[in-house]
């Protein structure tokens, strides 16, 4: 009998709102206490953290085109990294654009159930 070992991932939470970042980081810590977490407020901070952290997962909650543009930059620069983008229900064209770029869309607000779906991208299993 073999048991798969899932190492704790490095996760970057990106949100301009300090309260929202703290909320999402807390939800992640509650579910995966060993995860290594970092936070960023904008694109510049995200790219800087990515160079230092080499994250396995980036959770982006920035409004509108800014969030999608950052998600695309992260995927292009770090193709092995999973990218989760919090978004309002979008059009089929927006979903197709995200799918083509390898970006996973998740509905706002980022609740515990949604965070569990996001963590599953890097091997979390309740």
Q: Could you tell me whether strands 36-40 and 103-107 are parallel, antiparallel, or unpaired per DSSP bridges?
A: unpaired
- In whole angstroms, give the CA distance from residue 11 to residue 53: 8
- In whole angstroms, give the CA distance from residue 124 to residue 3: 14
Task: Give the model confidence (pLDDT) of 113-124 as tens digits.
Answer: 999 999 999 998
- In whole angstroms, give the CA distance from residue 10 to residue 35: 6
**Residue 112 confidence class, pLDDT cut points 50, 70, 90:** very high
Name the residue with higher pLDDT: 92 or 45: 45
Q: With beta carbons less than 8 A apart as the criterion, state whether 12 and 36 touch.
A: no
Task: Give the model confidence (pLDDT) of 65-89 as tens digits.
Answer: 899 999 999 999 999 999 999 987 7
- Domains, the chain: 10-122 (3.40.50.2300)
The structure tokens listed for 117 are 């779906």
Mean per-residue pLDDT, 97-109? 90
Max Cα-Cα span within the chain: 48
């Amino acid at each position: 009998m073999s048991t798969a070992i899932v190492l704790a991932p490095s996760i970057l939470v990106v949100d301009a709102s300090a309260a929202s970042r703290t909320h999402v980081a807390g939800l992640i810590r509650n579910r995966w206490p060993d995860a290594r977490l970092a936070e960023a407020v904008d694109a510049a901070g995200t790219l800087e953290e990515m160079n230092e952290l080499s994250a396995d997962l980036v959770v982006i909650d920035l409004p509108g085109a800014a969030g999608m543009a950052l998600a695309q930059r992260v995927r292009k620069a770090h193709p092995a990294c999973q990218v989760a983008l919090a978004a309002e229900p979008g059009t089929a064209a927006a979903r197709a654009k995200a799918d083509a770029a390898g970006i996973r869309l998740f509905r706002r607000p980022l609740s515990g159930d949604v965070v569990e779906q996001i963590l599953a991208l890097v091997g979390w299993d309740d």
